[in-house]
Amino acid sequence: MRVSRRKFLKTSAVAAGVPWLGLSPGAAAAADPPKKGGTLRVGFYIEAATMDPHLSGSKIDRQVYHNIYEPLVTLDTKLGIKPGLAESWSQPDPKTLVFKLRRGVKFHDGTDFNAEAAKFNFERMKTEPKSVRKGEVANIDTVEVVDSHTLKVNLKKPDAALLATLTDRAGMMVSPKVVQERGVELGRNAKGAGTGPFEFVEWVRDSHLVIKRHDGYWNKQGGPYLDRVRYRPIPDDVVKLHSLQSGEIDVMDYVQPRDVAAVKADKNVVVVDVPSLADFAYQLNTTRPPFNVKALRQAVAYALDVEQIVKGVWLNVGVAANGPIPPTSWAYDKSIAPIKRDLARAKAKLAEGGQPNGFTFTLTTNNIPINIQEAEVMQAQLAEAGITAKVKLVDSATLISDGNARNFEMVSFQWSGRPDPDGNTYQFLRTTPGTSFNWSGVSNPQMDALLDRTREISNQAERRKLYGELTKLLQDELPMIFIVHPIEPKAFSPKVQGYEPIPDGMMRFKDVWMR
Amino acid sequence: MVHLVLQRLAATVPVLLLVTAGVFALLHLTPGDPIDAMMAESADATAKASLRAELGLDRPLPVQYAAWMGRVLRGDLGRSIRNGEPVVENVGRRIRPSLQLALLAMAISLLIAVPVGIVSAARRNTSVDRVGTTFALFGICMPNFLLALLLIFLFGVTLRWLPISGYVDPAEELVDGLRSLALPAVTLGLALAAVVTRTLRSSMLEALTEDYVRTARAKGLSEWRVVRGHVLRNALIPVVTVLGLQLGTLIGGAVITEYVFALPGVGRLVVDAVFARDYPLVQGVVLLIALGFIASNLLVDLLYGLIDPRIRHR
């Protein structure tokens, strides 16, 4: 497969704009009416960690959650916010959000979903000792029940990104009855806990997790059609692909760039390119030499050929990044190009930074094949400018602890991305005391002001302009060097119909059916 | 024999102390932290700190080790940080597939290695022997993951005789269970067969030069009876040693095979736990694996006595 940057942008635009017709697997048979029944067998790279969305820290959990739980608001294909369990919402002032909740929704255990239940969930996220959601709901001061189906959320300060945060785990509603009666085991057994199109059946650890159609689902439009969905962990990519090709599974969550071309040539497999919200980048430690000198950060950026890395390492399964915001986002400014390679300029910057003959630094990265390849290509590109990169390979736990301790010079940073651009920027770039994802240690008043401002105003066009300014500032300041926004291709058996790719990468099976 | 068992059990105490203290120290000296690994997508320092305190990870290392040891002595291996389940439950679930796989692999290896080893030794330096030794060399050289992928491609993708990955418990569904274990067991069994073939062949060659073999032949015994009655039994000791050591390795160390075939075994459990810095899980599993090694070595020592009365223990 060859996707040029332009074609990718176009694809993203299609994902973002026009309702995606015949969207997907088996587009040729799009005229067939959907039919009920069948078990969809899904292969994942790893097993889920917990079924309790308030305690979940693992990306894979969310794949299951989006079928059994529902958030207050959800995402559409262009990352817009649309009603979920909340029918509508309003913002009487910048520090207040009022949700009108949907009537007639019941949890799978038969209890009612209402404002009391929603309040219970927010309070659990804020106070439960093991809650992993605390940071996401930190800006929520209090939650009030106005009437049975109206919820008022009072914020500590204006937060334009909060709605987008509530499209995922922080907005997912769990049955208060289940939490009170079997809260401890909710992690392993989510029976009755959700309101979604599918209900939890069983999870045999290390083997499989099964959900089944919820016939009493409130939304009578479209699906759910499938009888059951059965998730299985298959850690090895090659084996997972063979399992799909031989019909042991019907869906696989991710196709490695190196396999994409071969899989697309296979008639028994349908590949859907799902543009992601992710950015794969490097953080440069601005608190110590050599990268406390801006000119040397710039020298590295000008010595790198990002387009070449995307082509050679990522095999074009992704698009060169101009900054932290992916092309799928409404905040993406396509008039800003990725930084172009310019060796003469790199050398001039080296001289300006007091290292006319080049310098040596350590590049810390994950010990996985694609990262190693990327590091090797970067090493070669930098060498042409006289810069020597020593590659240090570590496992991901070590990488995170090195990052938190600022014990690195340049470190790879892979972020899965968030629907609101705030989630791809603020926590990495805003001056923060103590430990945060601002590993580079950047503290720039102009950047801080921009980041604060984007949270205070809710007008999308204005925010978009501010994010454009931020991207330009980043290309000059360079606390981070952005490489690629990867595409996350998913592969299906041709039997699978009706899958709608949302750029958050989550597979929602409500309208999926089997031919 | 009771004396030997008791003696061995007493000797396990320092071994286990050393192993657990070593693993504890190594694990905690390795950079990385379970909470960071678990909450990789959260920069919320306060939430992380409160979780750390909740799990007692903020206490000094010697205190943590002593607390862990104290619980172990009371029979409590603690809970996994990642999934919150008791370590014993985690291991209990994973040990079944690992044991089944190890035993099946061992059976396959013996079915191949014993005849090949015997024939190779008895007909040494003939073309039969050369085929046998070439097979053994191939089995030893072939990396597990490559053999696994070739088997998957042939029997899973092309011929579609066997499932590619996943695990069904043979105790629940015999046929499907054996089918799910067939490819991984052959993968491990072939490599083991190669080792056993070589060991058996060389120890038989040694035994074949003994005086009692010449005597047996001089008595006019057929070559087959010489081999079966005099050579094989004496040549088995190194084979039993190899098998005993391999049993432990197969249970705890078949990581790559388990990974490729998506088998939920102990090897993968411990590797995943190390990557997640799931301290209690790693410590618990290593403790149990060490116990397993000690037990299988003891078993080997007892088997020696059965094979060779001269080293029967009193």
Average model confidence (pLDDT) for chain B? 85
Three-state DSSP class for residue A93: strand
Measure the CA–CA gap between A438 and A423, rounded to whole angstroms: 13
- Work out the percent of chain B whose per-residue pLDDT is above 70: 98
Of A132, A233, A246, the CB nearest to B164: A246
pLDDT at A22: 38
Taking a contact as any Cβ pair under 8 Å apart, which residues of chain B between 13 and 32 contact chain A?
A: 30-32
Of B176, B181, B105, B183, which is closest to residue B150 (Cα–Cα)? B183
Band (B312; pLDDT cuts 50, 70, 90): low
Q: Which residues, at least 6 apart from B28, have a Cβ–Cβ distance to it below 8 Å? A: B61, B64, B279
Residue B273 in this model has a pLDDT that exceeds 70 = yes
- On whether any CB of chain A is under 8 Å from the CB of B259, the answer is yes
In which residue are the tokens 């409500």 written? A510
Measure the CA–CA gap between A214 and A395, rounded to whole angstroms: 41
Q: Which tens digits make up the pLDDT trace of A93-124? A: 888 999 999 999 999 999 999 999 999 999 99
How many C-beta neighbours within 10 Å does residue A395 have?
A: 17
In which residue are the tokens 């650890």 written? A205
Of residues A470 and B173, more confidently modeled? A470
Query: Distance from first CA to last CA of chain A, Å, rounded?
Result: 27
pLDDT at A434: 65
Alpha helix positions (H), B85-142: 87-122, 127-141
Does a cis peptide bond (omega within 30 degrees of 0) precede residue B143?
no
For the segment B186-193, the average pLDDT, to the nearest whole number, is 90
Are A227 and A37 contacting, i.e. CB atoms less than 8 angstroms apart? yes
- ipTM score over 0.90, yes or no: no
Residue B248 in this model has a pLDDT that exceeds 80 = no
Are A450 and A468 contacting, i.e. CB atoms less than 8 angstroms apart? no
Of A201, A33, A173, which is closest to residue A106 (Cα–Cα)? A173
- Work out the percent of chain A whose per-residue pLDDT is above 90: 62
Measure the CA–CA gap between B13 and A189, rounded to whole angstroms: 39
Residue A210 in this model has a pLDDT that exceeds 90 = yes
Of residues B130 and B292, more confidently modeled? B130
How many C-beta neighbours within 10 Å does residue A434 have?
A: 10
The alpha carbon of residue A59 is apart from the nearest alpha carbon of chain B, in Å, by 8
Residues from chain A that touch B40, judged by Cβ atoms under 8 A, are 57, 396, 400
Residue A71: left (phi > 0), alpha (psi -120 to 50), or beta?
Answer: beta
pLDDT at B142: 86
Are B29 and A401 contacting, i.e. CB atoms less than 8 angstroms apart? no
Measure the CA–CA gap between A457 and B51, rounded to whole angstroms: 34
Residue B11 in this model has a pLDDT that exceeds 60 = yes
pLDDT at A80: 85
Band (A377; pLDDT cuts 50, 70, 90): very high
Tokens found for residue B285 = 């599993």
Interchain proximity A59–B163, CB inside 8 Å:
no
Measured CA distances, B63 to A89, A497, B23, B25, B284 (Å): 52, 57, 15, 12, 17
Residue A426 in this model has a pLDDT that exceeds 50 = yes
Residues from chain B that touch A124, judged by Cβ atoms under 8 A, are none
- Work out the percent of chain B whose per-residue pLDDT is above 90: 7
Residue A11 in this model has a pLDDT that exceeds 50 = no
Beta-strand ranges (E) seen in A45-181 are 73-75, 81-83, 86-93, 96-101, 140-147, 150-155
- Of A125-139, A190-204, A218-232, B39-53, the range with the lowest mean pLDDT is B39-53
Three-state DSSP class for residue A362: strand
Tokens found for residue A271 = 């590949």
Residue B251 in this model has a pLDDT that exceeds 90 = no
Q: Which tens digits make up the pLDDT trace of B167-177? A: 888 888 899 88
What are φ and ψ of residue B136, in 5° steps?
Answer: -65, -45
Interchain proximity A134–B44, CB inside 8 Å:
yes
Measured CA distances, A337 to A203, A313, A333, B178 (Å): 47, 20, 9, 57
Are B43 and A57 contacting, i.e. CB atoms less than 8 angstroms apart? no
Q: Which tens digits make up the pLDDT trace of B85-123? A: 888 888 888 888 888 999 999 999 999 998 888 888 888
Measure the CA–CA gap between A173 and A156, rounded to whole angstroms: 22
- On whether any CB of chain A is under 8 Å from the CB of B11, the answer is no
pLDDT at A17: 38
Alpha helix positions (H), A434-515: 445-456, 460-477
pLDDT at A458: 82
Residue A443 in this model has a pLDDT that exceeds 80 = yes
* Residue A508 CB burial class (10 angstroms; 0-12, 13-18, ≥19): buried
Interchain proximity A134–B47, CB inside 8 Å:
yes
Band (B33; pLDDT cuts 50, 70, 90): confident
Measure the CA–CA gap between A465 and A444, rounded to whole angstroms: 19
- Count how many Cα atoms sit within 13 Å of the Cα of residue A66 in the half-sphere of its side chain: 20
Cβ density class A400-432: b for 16+ within 10 Å, e for less:
bbbbbebebbbbbbbbbbbbbbbbbbbbbbbeb
Band (A8; pLDDT cuts 50, 70, 90): very low
How many C-beta neighbours within 10 Å does residue A88 have?
A: 11
Measure the CA–CA gap between A107 and A69, rounded to whole angstroms: 9
Measure the CA–CA gap between B25 and A268, rounded to whole angstroms: 51
- On whether any CB of chain A is under 8 Å from the CB of B154, the answer is no
pLDDT at A30: 52
